[in-house]
Structure 1
Amino acid sequence: MAWNSARTLILAVAAILPIAHTLGLSSLQDLQVRQTVGATNWTAFGCYTDNGGARTLSGSSYTSPTAMTVESCVNFCSTGSNSYIYAGIEYAQECYCDNFIRNGATSVTSSQCNMPCTGNAAEFCGAGNLLDIYYSGGQPPPAPIIVPSVGNWTSLGCYNDSTARALAYGAPVTEGMTVEGCTSACYTAGYPLAGLEYSTQCFCGLVLDNGSGPTPASDCDMTCAGNATEYCGGPNRLNIYNYTELVPTTPGGGGGGGGGGGGGTTTVSPVTSGLPGTWGYTACYVDNANGRVIGNEYDNSNMTVENCIANCIGENFTVAAIEYSTQCFCGDYLINGAALAPAGDCSMGCEGNSTEACGGPNRLSVYSSTGNVTILPIPAPQNTSLPGQWSYQGCYAEPATGVHVLPYELDWTTNNTIDACLNQCAAFGYPAAGLEYGEQCFCGDITDVAGNGGFLAPETDCNMPCSGDPIHICGAGDRLSMYYWNGTMNVWHMPENIGHYEFLIGGLIVPLIATVGINNKVTFLEKWGTSEYDNSTGAYELDLTLVDNYRLAWREMHVKTDVFCSGSIILPDKGGRQINVGGWSLESTFGVRLYTPDGSAGVNGTNDWEENVNELTLQRGRWYPTAMMMSNGSILVVGGETGSNASPQPNLEILPKPPGGDTVITLDYLQRTDPNNLYPFLMVLPSGRIFIGYYNEARILDPITFDTVTVLPNIPGEVNNFLAGRTYPMEGTAVLFPQYAPYTDPIQILICGGSTPGAAIAVDNCVSIVPEAENATWTLERMPSKRVMPCMVTLPDGTYMIMNGAQQGVAGFGLATEPNLSALLYDPLQPVGQRVSILNTTIVDRLYHSEATLLTDGRVLISGSDPQTYYPNGSYVYPEEMRIEFNIMETDWEYNGQYTITVNLFQGTTSTMRISLVAASSSTHGNVMSGGRILFPEFACSGNTCTITAPPNAYVSPPGWSQLFILDGPTPSHSLWVRIGGDPAQLGNWPDFPDFTLPGV
Structure 2
Amino acid sequence: MLTNIIKLFFFSLSFFIFISPISPQFLPPNYGHQGEWTLLHESTGIVAMHMQLLHNNKVVIYDRTDFGRSNLSLPGGLCRYDSGEQALTYDCTAHSILYDTTNNGFRPLMVQTDVWCSSGSVIPNGTLVQTGGFNDGDHVVRTFSPCLDHENCDWLEFPEYLLRRRWYGTNHILPDGSIIIVGGRREYSYEFYPRNPQAPFLLRFLIETTDYAENNLYPFVHLLPDGNLFLFANTRSILLDYKQNRVVREFPEITGGDPRNYPSTGSSVLLPLDENNNGSNVEAEIMVCGGAPKDSYGRALRQDFVRAVSSCGRLKVSHVNPNWEMEPMPTPRVMSDMLILPTGDVIIVNGGESGTAGWNNARDPVTRPIIYRPSVHESSLRFSVMSPAFRPRLYHSSAILLPDGRVLIGGSNPQIYYNFTNVLYPTDLSLEAFSPPYLSVEYTALRPRIMHVDQTVRHRQSFRVKFIVLNFLSGNVVSVRIIAPSFTTHSFAMNQRMVVMNKLGVSRVGPAVYNVDVVAPSTAEIAPPGYYLLFLVHAEIPSPGVWLKIE
Question: 1:810 — aligned with what?
Answer: 356
- 2:48/2:429 contact within 8 Å kept: no
Deviation track 1:832-882 (CA, whole Å, cap 9, x = no partner) reads: 34311111112311001111111000001111103677999xxx9997656
Q: Matched residue of 2:548: which SS? A: strand
For 1:558, the aligned partner's letter is M
Question: 2:498 — aligned with what?
Answer: 933
1:98-109 to structure 2, matched below 5 A, reads none
- 240, 259, 272: which one pairs with 1:725? 259
- 1:510/1:526 contact within 8 Å kept: yes
Deviation track 1:638-677 (CA, whole Å, cap 9, x = no partner) reads: 0002xxxxxx100001111124xx5211111212323211
- 848, 852, 855: which one pairs with 2:399? 852
Deviation (angstroms), 1:536: 3.0
- 2:274/2:283 contact within 8 Å kept: no
Distance in 1 between the 2:204 and 2:506 partners? Answer: 52
Question: Cα–Cα, structure 1 residues 594 and 18, in superposed 2: closer, same or farther, change >3 Å?
Answer: closer
- 684, 692, 695: which one pairs with 2:234? 695
- 834, 837, 847: which one pairs with 2:381? 834
Q: CA RMSD in A?
A: 2.6
Question: 1:566 — aligned with what?
Answer: 118
- The structure with more radius of gyration: 1
Question: Cα–Cα, structure 1 residues 762 and 527, in superposed 2: closer, same or farther, change >3 Å?
Answer: same
- 2:473/2:539 contact within 8 Å kept: no
Deviation (angstroms), 1:18: 13
Distance in 2 between the 1:671 and 1:514 partners? Answer: 29
- 1:528/1:536 contact within 8 Å kept: no
Deviation (angstroms), 1:910: 5.8
Residue 711 (1) aligns with residue 255 (2): no
Q: Matched residue of 2:138: which SS? A: helix
- 2:236/2:253 contact within 8 Å kept: yes
For 2:182, the aligned partner's letter is V
Distance in 2 between the 1:863 and 1:716 partners? Answer: 32
Residue 634 (1) aligns with residue 178 (2): yes
- 1:682/1:931 contact within 8 Å kept: no
- 2:401/2:485 contact within 8 Å kept: no
Q: Matched residue of 1:841: which SS? A: coil
Distance in 2 between the 1:856 and 1:940 partners? Answer: 25
Deviation track 1:138-189 (CA, whole Å, cap 9, x = no partner) reads: xxxxxxxxxxxxxxxxxxxxxxxxxxxxxxxxxxxxxxxxxxxxxxxxxxxx
Residue 545 (1) aligns with residue 102 (2): yes
- 1:529/1:561 contact within 8 Å kept: no
Distance in 2 between the 1:864 and 1:871 partners? Answer: 6
- 2:119/2:489 contact within 8 Å kept: yes
1:118-517 to structure 2, matched below 5 A, reads 497-506=33-42, 507-517=44-54
Deviation track 1:712-752 (CA, whole Å, cap 9, x = no partner) reads: 111123xxxx3x21111100110011122234342110011
Deviation (angstroms), 1:945: 2.6
Q: Matched residue of 2:205: which SS? A: helix
- 64, 70, 78: which one pairs with 1:527? 64
Q: Matched residue of 1:917: which SS? A: strand
- TM-score after normalising by structure 2: 0.79
Q: Matched residue of 1:822: which SS? A: coil
- 1:514/1:523 contact within 8 Å kept: yes
- 2:47/2:429 contact within 8 Å kept: no
Deviation (angstroms), 1:909: 4.7
- 765, 773, 776: which one pairs with 2:311? 765
Question: 1:656 — aligned with what?
Answer: 194
Residue 962 (1) aligns with residue 532 (2): yes
- 2:499/2:527 contact within 8 Å kept: no
Question: 1:906 — aligned with what?
Answer: 470
- 1:593/1:609 contact within 8 Å kept: yes
Distance in 1 between the 2:478 and 2:498 partners? Answer: 20
Residue 822 (1) aligns with residue 368 (2): yes
Question: 2:129 — aligned with what?
Answer: 579
Distance in 2 between the 1:18 and 1:895 partners? Answer: 39
Distance in 2 between the 1:861 and 1:604 partners? Answer: 25
Distance in 2 between the 1:970 and 1:740 partners? Answer: 16
- 1:917/1:937 contact within 8 Å kept: no
Distance in 2 between the 1:581 and 1:939 partners? Answer: 40
Distance in 1 between the 2:131 and 2:93 partners? Answer: 20
Distance in 1 between the 2:29 and 2:229 partners? Answer: 40
Deviation (angstroms), 1:632: 2.4
Deviation track 1:337-386 (CA, whole Å, cap 9, x = no partner) reads: xxxxxxxxxxxxxxxxxxxxxxxxxxxxxxxxxxxxxxxxxxxxxxxxxx
Distance in 1 between the 2:501 and 2:307 partners? Answer: 37
- 93, 112, 118: which one pairs with 1:536? 93
Deviation track 1:2-54 (CA, whole Å, cap 9, x = no partner) reads: xxxxxxxxxx9x9xx999435xxxxxxxxxxxxxxxxxxxxxxxxxxxxxxxx
Deviation (angstroms), 1:794: 0.6
Distance in 1 between the 2:28 and 2:275 partners? Answer: 26
Residue 922 (1) aligns with residue 487 (2): yes
Distance in 2 between the 1:945 and 1:907 partners? Answer: 15
Distance in 2 between the 1:822 and 1:638 partners? Answer: 32
Deviation (angstroms), 1:947: 2.3
Residue 556 (1) aligns with residue 108 (2): yes
Question: 1:738 — aligned with what?
Answer: 272
Q: Matched residue of 1:669: which SS? A: helix
- 1:937/1:948 contact within 8 Å kept: yes
Distance in 2 between the 1:925 and 1:608 partners? Answer: 24
Question: Cα–Cα, structure 1 residues 910 and 560, in superposed 2: closer, same or farther, change >3 Å?
Answer: farther
Q: Matched residue of 1:670: which SS? A: helix
Q: Which piece of structure 1 moves more, 700-709 or 619-628? A: 700-709
For 2:166, the aligned partner's letter is R
Q: Matched residue of 1:671: which SS? A: helix
**Higher strand fraction: Structure 1 or Structure 2?**
2
Question: 2:448 — aligned with what?
Answer: 884
Deviation (angstroms), 1:531: 4.6
Deviation (angstroms), 1:571: 1.0
Distance in 1 between the 2:262 and 2:497 partners? Answer: 18
Q: Matched residue of 1:728: which SS? A: coil
Q: Matched residue of 2:102: which SS? A: helix
Residue 592 (1) aligns with residue 141 (2): yes
Distance in 1 between the 2:155 and 2:429 partners? Answer: 32
Question: 1:676 — aligned with what?
Answer: 215
Deviation (angstroms), 1:915: 1.4
Which structure has more RCO (C-alpha within 8 Å, separation ≥ 6)?
Answer: 2
Q: How many residues align?
A: 464
Question: Cα–Cα, structure 1 residues 972 and 522, in superposed 2: closer, same or farther, change >3 Å?
Answer: same
Question: 1:624 — aligned with what?
Answer: 168
Distance in 1 between the 2:151 and 2:535 partners? Answer: 25
Deviation (angstroms), 1:889: 5.0
Question: Cα–Cα, structure 1 residues 747 and 841, in superposed 2: closer, same or farther, change >3 Å?
Answer: same
Runs of 5+ consecutive residues of structure 1 not aligned to the other structure: 1-11, 23-496, 548-552, 642-647, 983-1001
For 1:800, the aligned partner's letter is V
Q: Matched residue of 1:830: which SS? A: coil
Question: Cα–Cα, structure 1 residues 969 and 670, in superposed 2: closer, same or farther, change >3 Å?
Answer: same
- TM-score after normalising by structure 1: 0.44
Deviation (angstroms), 1:706: 2.5
Question: 2:83 — aligned with what?
Answer: none
For 2:338, the aligned partner's letter is M
For 2:521, the aligned partner's letter is P
Distance in 2 between the 1:21 and 1:894 partners? Answer: 37
Q: Matched residue of 2:31: which SS? A: coil
Question: 1:269 — aligned with what?
Answer: none
Deviation (angstroms), 1:590: 0.7
Q: Matched residue of 1:590: which SS? A: coil
Distance in 1 between the 2:264 and 2:429 partners? Answer: 29
Deviation track 1:897-944 (CA, whole Å, cap 9, x = no partner) reads: 012222121332561322111112111111110144343442423222
Q: Matched residue of 2:483: which SS? A: strand
Deviation (angstroms), 1:605: 5.0
